[in-house]
Amino acid sequence: MKVISTEPSQILGARVAAGLEAEVVDVRFSRFPDGEHYLQTGTVDEEMVIVGSVTTSDAFVQLLLLIDACEGSENTLVVPYMGYARQDKRFNPGEPLSARVVAAALSRGVSRVVTVNIHEEGVLSHFRVPAKNVSLASDIGRHLTGMDLNLPIILAPDEGAAHFAGQVAAACHWEWDYLKKTRLSGEEVRMEPKHLGVSGCDVVIVDDIISTGGTIATAASMLRQQGARRVYAACVHGVFTGGAFMHLIGGGVRDVFCTDTVERACSRVSGGKTIADTIIAC
Ligand code: R5P
């Protein structure tokens, strides 16, 4: 077995390889003069693990090309961050079911798929091969235990993240709670007031994705009004669109970190070992 990755997932790809005690395959990535992607792999194995997050449309094309370049091998596809997964329904007439489009395209040429904290597990049914989702909640929880926090509480910003927050809290043995969120637009959310008893506490808001940061910013503001001592934010997928990281820090969030499903300078938790263990167990 060997491991290969797209450009945006090269660090996580190497960590997955370390967890599997497998060799990595070198890839030369470039573009044609007109901007089209080109790649050429080194010698692949009969069994390949292909690691590629769909962080952008370019990353998606690169991943499709990489899967095709591994044709003839038994391919396990790891999609650490699956962009387009949030468009998992037709919310309005005339919209595409984008999650299905991406899942179907990625299914061609692979035998099985592993995703990480996919936005909605129902999306797995759109892959045309067996697909399994793995959670990095425990990895985040273990990381939190190494931080110097006072009266720590884990908070989910919405009911959708409540299960995830419970898993994080189980790994660090802290209390947890959740808020109720209504999304008003792509950037704006409203949260129902809830008394959380956070006065003097350090609160860690946890979510699957930080995209615009609107969700975390709204929750953090409510927590500060209720006397929280310090507010931190942690997520699996640090998308941080439109300057979200700076927006959160500027808005008083003490620190923000994510995992390496999207490779960032603040990727302080790696999914490499958990993903490797999942592949071994499959
Ligand atoms: C939504 O259901 C997700 O779990 C996240 O809360 C959401 O995607 C975060 O987006 P943003 O950072 O743009 O508020």
Q: How far is CA 19 from CA 12, 113, 178, 197, in A?
A: 10, 17, 34, 41
Per-run averaged pLDDT (10 residues), the chain, 282 residues: 98 98 98 98 98 98 98 98 97 97 98 97 98 98 97 95 97 94 84 86 97 94 94 98 96 97 98 98 90
Compute, in angstroms, the gap from residue 281 CA to the centroid of ligand 1.
Answer: 30
- 82 bridge partner residues: 54
Q: What is the model's pTM? A: 0.95
Of 132, 181, 194, 273, which is the active-site residue?
181
Classify strands 74-79 and 47-51 as parallel, antiparallel or unpaired: parallel
Query: Can you tell me the distance from the alpha carbon of 52 to that of 109, in angstroms, rounded to the nearest whole number?
Result: 14
Pocket flag, ligand 1, residue 215 (CB < 6 Å): yes
* pLDDT computed for residue 186 by the predictor: 79
| 19 contacts 273 by C-beta, under 8 angstroms | yes
Task: Give the nearest ligand 1 atom to 157 CA.
Answer: 6
Compute, in angstroms, the gap from residue 18 CA to the centroid of ligand 1.
Answer: 31
* pLDDT computed for residue 189 by the predictor: 85
Query: Can you tell me the distance from the alpha carbon of 271 to that of 204, in angstroms, rounded to the nearest whole number?
Result: 20
Pocket flag, ligand 1, residue 160 (CB < 6 Å): yes
Query: Can you tell me the distance from the alpha carbon of 209 to that of 237, in angstroms, rounded to the nearest whole number?
Result: 5
| Sign of the C-alpha dihedral computed for residues 188, 94, 36 and 44 taken in this order | positive
* pLDDT computed for residue 102 by the predictor: 98
* pLDDT computed for residue 196 by the predictor: 83
Task: Give the nearest ligand 1 atom to 239 CA.
Answer: 12
Query: Can you tell me the distance from the alpha carbon of 4 to that of 66, in angstroms, rounded to the nearest whole number?
Result: 8
Atom 10 of ligand 1 has which residue's CA nearest to it? 211
Q: Is 181 a catalytic residue?
A: yes
Domains of the chain: residue spans and CATH: 2-135+270-281 (3.40.50.2020), 137-260 (3.40.50.2020)
Pocket test for ligand 1, best of 178, 210, 247 (most atoms within 8 A of CB): 210
Burial of residue 11 (CB within 10 Å: 0-12, 13-18, 19+) is middle
Quick one: DSSP state of residue 151?
A: S
* pLDDT computed for residue 191 by the predictor: 84
Compute, in angstroms, the gap from residue 91 CA to the centroid of ligand 1.
Answer: 16
Pocket flag, ligand 1, residue 8 (CB < 6 Å): no
* pLDDT computed for residue 28 by the predictor: 98
Task: Give the nearest ligand 1 atom to 119 CA.
Answer: 4
Compute, in angstroms, the gap from residue 122 CA to the centroid of ligand 1.
Answer: 17
